[in-house]
Structure 1
Amino acid sequence: RNISVQHLEYILKFEPNAAKEADWNIPEEYPLHKALASELPNPDVVGFLVELYPDAVKGRDDRGHLTIMERLSFLNHLDVFQKICTIEPDLLQQIGPSGSILTRLCVHDINNSPLYPKYDERIYQWVLEQNPSLASVPMPGPLLESRLSHHF
């Protein structure tokens, strides 16, 4: 949670492959996934891990779903978000068990505590520019309309 890029650089001095080692309990989960799992992921740390091991973005579960999709909805930083989606364009196409990336963003944004910032509207806008058809993917209740009405 409170780890910095400097901490990671120090760890990597002694464990050069640490960013590439998957969790032994969850083979498709890498340190990048754990960095994204915090309530407010540090975009510098996430960006550093993406640069260090971009293949972590491409991990899939046994059903073929991108494992980073659920975690990506915690990231509220446009540049790093775009970098991740550029490495794995399927993030903007795939409809997983919890819907599309747009669904995940909306759910996270609506359920988020008032203590945390709302999603940067540029992320919604960018996702919809990349794949406008995501706006027509079924979502629970009026989820998309209620979320996007706050932004547009």
Structure 2
Amino acid sequence: MDTTAPAGYEITTDPARLDRALVHRWLSQDAYWARGRSREKQDLAIDGSLNFAVHEAASGAQVGYARVVTDLATFAWLCDVYIDPSARGRGLGTALAAAVRDHLAPYGLRRILLATADAHGVYAKAGFAPLAHPERWMALGEQ
């Protein structure tokens, strides 16, 4: 499935177009939430998830990635969203979040969650908002 992206880019869920080595390098070396993640762990995460890749249309080079953990019935968690530094500032992060939203819309999920330390504005443009009742949520594990 290809979805709408800014001019000159394409967003796809085609697993054959996903550069796993590049995704691992981005996340394990540059993403504060995944720094040090092993390639084996990253591949397991990819295999158990719905994956989105952003590619330059002309060259086919992958410049972005997002992963969704979901049951496709009631819940989804958007995570590991990453845009290569060379492609930032072009609306690709917002387009990627919107592509995830639009891809999941037909399933009628009750909730799509994400966590971010610094990109609230990017996700707000795609319709995400702070939790209405954060006091109801709990976590087990690293916080």
Provide the TM-score with structure 2 as the length reference.
0.35
Provide the TM-score with structure 1 as the length reference.
0.33
The structure having more radius of gyration, on CA atoms, is 1
More RCO (CA 8 Å, sep 6+): 2
Question: Greater share of strand residues, 1 or 2?
Answer: 2
